[in-house]
Amino acid sequence: MEYPILPYETYKAEEIEPLYQSVGWTSYLRRPGLLQEAYAASLKILAAWDEDRLIGVARAVGDGASILYVQDLLVHPEYQGKGVGSRLLKQMLACYPDVNQALLLTDDTEDTVRFYENAGFQKVAKAGCCAFIRLNDYYGG
């Protein structure tokens, strides 16, 4: 089944927060209002639906010209492996076909590496780059 992907325009905590919890991304939820603020400041948000159930989200930040940062790409565990994440990512990238750099930060697991490499991404080291991160205590850093 191919689930529709549409722009996500109205933040609803009652559908967004359970989706983040379902994939274990609870760091966003440790600070009340953080996720809603992040959504409001996003460049673009796409959502996958199974009728009226939110099953996946792709959220991007950046300027859409020189940089597109895929901040969040998540799919409810019941729908993983069905092409939902691939379609969300593909549609997000199609919104910015001429962007200079599309990048993201993700877990370094065999599954995630394979997923993003299949989508045309490469590890930053292959591009002669390195990445740095500074995490605040509430995030676990």
CATH number assigned to the domain comprising residue 9:
3.40.630.30
CA pseudo-torsion sign 56, 80, 3, 50:
negative
| Rg, C-alpha atoms of the chain | 15
pLDDT tens for each residue of 18-48: 999 999 998 888 887 999 999 999 999 999 9
- In a domain, residue 28? The reply is yes
Is residue 128 assigned to a domain? no
Question: What pLDDT score does 141 carry?
Answer: 44
Give pLDDT tens digits for 68-97. Answer: 999 999 999 999 999 999 999 999 999 999
Q: Quick check: is 122 in a domain?
A: no
- The residue range of the domain holding 30 is 5-105
Does residue 13 lie in a domain region? yes
CB 68 within 8 A of CB 43: yes
Q: Domain tally for the chain? A: 1
In a domain, residue 123? The reply is: no
> What pLDDT shows up at residue 31?
84
Residue 64 lies in a domain: yes
